[in-house]
Structure 1
Amino acid sequence: MRIQVLGSMRAWKDGAELELGPPARRAVLGLLVLAEGETVPSGSLVDALWGERPPRSAVNVLQTHVKHLRRLLEPGRSSRSSSEVLPYVNGGYAVNQAAVTVDLTAFRLLVAEANEAYRNDEWDRAAAGLGEALALWHGRPVADIPLLATHPKVVSLIAKHREVVARHGDAMIAIGAAAEVLPEMAEAAAEQPLDESAQARLIRAYHAAGHRAKAFQTYHEVRDRLVEELGIDPGPELRAAHATLLHDDGSTSTAQPRAVPAVPRQLPAQPSGFTGRTAQLSTLDELAAERPGGAMTIAAISGTAGVGKTALAVHWGHSVSDRFPDGQLYANLRGHTSAGAAAPIEVLAGFLSALDVPAERVPVDVETASAMFRTLTTDRKMLVLLDNAAGPDQVRPLLPAGRGCLVVVTGRDRMTGLVAMHGARQITLDVLSPDDALELLRCVLGPRRVRAEPAAAAEFAKLCAYLPLALRIAAANLSDRPGHGIEDYVAELREGNVLTALEVPGDEQAAVRAAFDLSYAALPHEARRLFRLLSLIPGLDASTEAIAALTGTDPERSLDRLAGAHLVELQTPGRYSFHDLLRRYAAEQAEPDREAALHRLYDWYLNAVDGAARLLYPHMLRLPVPDLDARTPSGVTGPAEAASWLDTERGNLVAAVRSGPRPAAWLIADALRGYFWMSTRRVEWQATAEAGLAAAEEAGEPRARATARLSLADLYFRQSRYREAVRHYTHAHLLARQAGWVEAQAAVLGNLGRDHALRALAIHRETGHRTAEALTLAVLERAGR
């Protein structure tokens, strides 16, 4: 028995095609086949056939259709025996996939095998497998049944077909066979005239097939279409295809590699000296083993601060990374940091970007972004590590949808909401066992030193409450003092911890403070000062150059000392971060240079952003920046380096606008407007513009308020939300008039339409602003077409 749904609804038995009967009967069979072996309740079949107002006889009619289909598909079956092909299961019907051959099932299997080859860069095998899958496609699913044209299963399959066509095109381009798929690529692009990925793929196919002129023509046509219909410029994928055309003079091979699907590898570095946690690692392994057969799995790791939740999650994530071929996503949710918990939309923006969603396509509202994230992860096998969560409400929008996905959440909260609502497995992390604590000491101090003083080492671990963070910091402090024995350090710990430890035995936070106190006191003066000042960093990490601006000195030696004492962590070469408990402890220490250091840091950020703006968008109207005695980032000598620096520092700059001193906050926000216009990172853009506006309104600064409104207006314009854009443009124009800022008035008018642009042109000519005059003339030319 063979059934086809990819095209017209057809069936064959013993090589002879069957007459399936009237449209409604064909629709019943089509719905059951599209369910791919799952039971379809009778009520769902009735709803699909008759909608909201079925006749009273609907169930009887449905049963009649099923009876006729069974007779047709199983002509020799006794009326008293159960059906092998269309069994009745739990109030509904299903297709027994073991009894029939279905083209949709074969299509799914071929695509899955080809996608595995695609992920492993086996282009020949991927191209062959996807081509074989597409050969099964004879048109729109159940094309001869209009009743099912908009059914979700049909719509989903059409989207899947487009995805397979795209991947097949990529693979064929990669193996140098682009000419063979040009008709399919052209058809796909014609069906999706505003889909940048489809258009970019067609451009690459034309280029790879040697049709360079046609590729250029296609680029210019789609660019004009995007501008005219959506009011946006080409995104990164189209620009990349165009850049490849520009840099290929035709003397080299035109075959282009396919667009590799994003496989993010975001896990932090493997923690050194990880010990113990055997039971918890075993539980995580069990969850990973159970994952393929069921729904998306969640592990919720909870425990006190400093107990090693992140270390456990990251260590385990690295050990099983091969089980998640589609990548690993990581986010620090900042659940207990002074900077405040991360907004889910910010995390989603980062995840979607890592999954190759162009910045301008990332939604700015949580619900839409979350839905897009779930869609993109439906067929993926991914590990998602959500670290330092504030609670379940922060986590829920960040959950993927794929059955092959596993989510690990860490936090001080027990996450009972995730357990109750999402079936999360709860893993409670306590302090280390005495034996594991000693093993950690051996890793830091060396086995010989611990073996020489076993009783003192055991007391050392006990005074640190067996807490990993306290143990690491205290042991690192002792390792810097080779002349001291463990017993000597135990005496110091006892002295610093005696009051709190005796009052509250095993008080982990008292142990942490005692370890902090001793390690901090052992630092040289400059290192202690640096440690205190690092608490002023607005984001999660900082570059060496930003830290130099903060301190006003060369911090390299002190940073090395702090890293050696486990008081800061080297994230990547030249970038440092530290634990939120350490940040809080550093902020509590008295620092007379605090305000001056804060202004030095923000002056440096402002100077650096201003320098990048001059390189990237020199003609864009901006607030004047005062002359600052601050260094610019090394190596930022041209537009490419400026853009790279802004990409790297984006998180810190957004945090600086939100929390920095005035007027640096709104000046940085204004200087970033051009960067956001170019990169179209809408989530960060909105957060920055709104924070800049709030700062300016609090200070009552009309020019700053005008540029903040202009930034929001530009953002809404790029989103095609013209009503909101006009409202902010109008507000910005009013504020610019109140401030007597003629250039800003002209800039706003130029964005409000043809009549306003004519007024802007007159102002530009009157003030002699030639570049702005040329830009406004371009606007008028476009409006006149």
Structure 2
Amino acid sequence: MNTVASGHFDTVVQAREINGGVHMHPPAADRHVPGHLPPRPRTFAGRDRETRQLTAAVARSGIAMICGGGGIGKTWLALHWAYQNIAQFPDGQLFADLRGFDAAGEPKTPCVVLHFFLQALGVESGRIPVDIDGMACLYRSLVAGKRMFILLDNVRDIAQVTPLLPGSSSCVVVITGRSRLVGLFVQHDAQLVPMGVLSAREAHALLTRRLGFERIAGEPAAVGELLDSCAGLPLALGVVAGRATARPGFTLTRLAEELRDTATRLGVLDEHDPATSLSAVFSWSYAALTDREAETFLLMCLAPGQDLSLPAVASLVGLPVEDACVVLRELERVSLVQEPAPERFRVHDLIRLYGIQQARQTPTRHGPEVALRRLVDFYLHTSRAADRLLDPDSQPVDIVPATEGCRPAVLETRRAALAWFEAEHSQLLAVQELAHRSGWRQHVWQLAWTLHAYHLSRGHLHHDLAIWRLGYEAVEGVAESAAKAIVHQMLGYAYSRLGVHAQALRFVADAIHFAVETGNLAYRAAAHHAAAQVWGRHGDTVEALRHAAAALRIYRAVRTPLREAFALNMVGNFAARLGDFELARGTYEAALSLFRAHHHRLGEATILDSLGRLADAVGHTEALGHYQHALVLLQELGDTYAAAETLERLGQTYRALDQNNRARAAWRQAMRLYRTQRRTADADRLECQLQLLKAGVATVDGGPWN
């Protein structure tokens, strides 16, 4: 960097250096106005939020720290802000790259940087104190009262940066680094400016500025693929733009094809210059980790899904939660992992690819398979505990024992179970895929089993079909009749709910066959229960009633009162559909008594809904009370799937009573739930009902049990 001189001035600065008991006074220095900033970033785009945060941080304390992972654009943000505000610093700018994470070796020491700064401020080399305290004292004296900008780039720790902080509030200091230096915030009131990846809009704007609007607009599909491959990382986008600029004859589609394979993507994005090599940049952070931190990082890169909770990571690495938290905080501090939500951690996509490469070359204590098995066990056992809170009377299933070191999460309430399923749903699907790829057959179908009550309560019908199809693949070719009975039964349910009746009928017939093979009456009852539901949806009410009655007899024989109550509800539904309202009312009332005796609120809501339908068949006024009570219970329980159907029926009752505004409100709520649950036919039917209601045409439904 060239020093920009602007005149000379005489200064008398009294600085005391204690060096062997000798008091030294700093020499007079000619006036120097250093201009050390690297060139202004010419293709800077986006980062409006971070720029505003930096402005506010500087205004508050004069010291700001920009923190983020390698290649995230920390230095560019600092330079962009500095050049925007250059007029505020007439006394100059100082810049030093402290090489906190550098492949070349050790970071720069404060002594080296102070020596450089003092020279830049006009102090002759021979008159610079040899002691760091003396250098720091002289440095602070020279910048005191001056309006200067000081950029300390790529800082590793607080010891490296503290001697470089001026004592004068007239100076502005911006620090960049991958580690959050908590001591700076506590001791010097520094303000944090965190940096994450670019948004899709910002990434697109950056690529457009580098390549030009015409080239970007000409291949929109390829541009989208390039943006996905770079995952919002500015350094990766810069490499892509550089390759595209260097190859003007190549299409962006060709470049996107090179990046398509995740196994080779990092190699394609790497350049010969270590400063622009993604692998090199990531390696500098990785090399600074302890063995335990490195192992945790690598295992997180190998784990499936987008993010992991703190308890999940603890099981993955086989540590107590408290110890895992300490390790994760360090990884998050050096920006190798992110914490997008409290106690949920994720690894950036490109950093993950680097970690996977390293994992292939770095043996862990017991190999990654053991760690991943602990993770799958964590999800299986926690999911089973959550499922029991949602469906406490479900079929008994002996879950695979947990691997040593696995620590399932503790859930105590239905609300907590629903919240856990909501947070972990995508992760559970990814974990089941991992179990399937790994050949852990029992885990595959048992994970599906633990998810089915949640899927039904939230209306995730397509996901439910997908997990049970994997479960079906897992039990094919094995001699476990009990597992086959459950999987075929649940796959029949899943197909039936989506209207694929032929497949559903075949699977429930097979379920009955496998249930008989087990010799277990509970499995036989459950298989007949499923067959009744499927035949009912298929439209054969007589056959449905036959299976419902068979399930009811067995449930009574094995003394399972809640299952008996659900079977009574089915018998009542099919009897009502056949016109036997007296039988229907009797079975509903018997079921309601059982559910209330056992404090089963979901079962109570189910029967109230059935009583509402029965009342609709013989007169509407009584139905309102049943539907409204059922709806309150379903909403409290979070069962949005059943709530949507109850809302639709409530609307029908309001419509029959000429309460059109209330009918409209109920149907609109139901339609929103149907759309969310991808129940397109149901939503379209209601939309048609609403249009007819608006036009003043009498609406028509297929009867309360259709």
TM-score, with length taken from structure 2? 0.41
Structure number, greater radius of gyration? 2
Q: What's the TM-score once normalised by structure 1's chain length?
A: 0.37
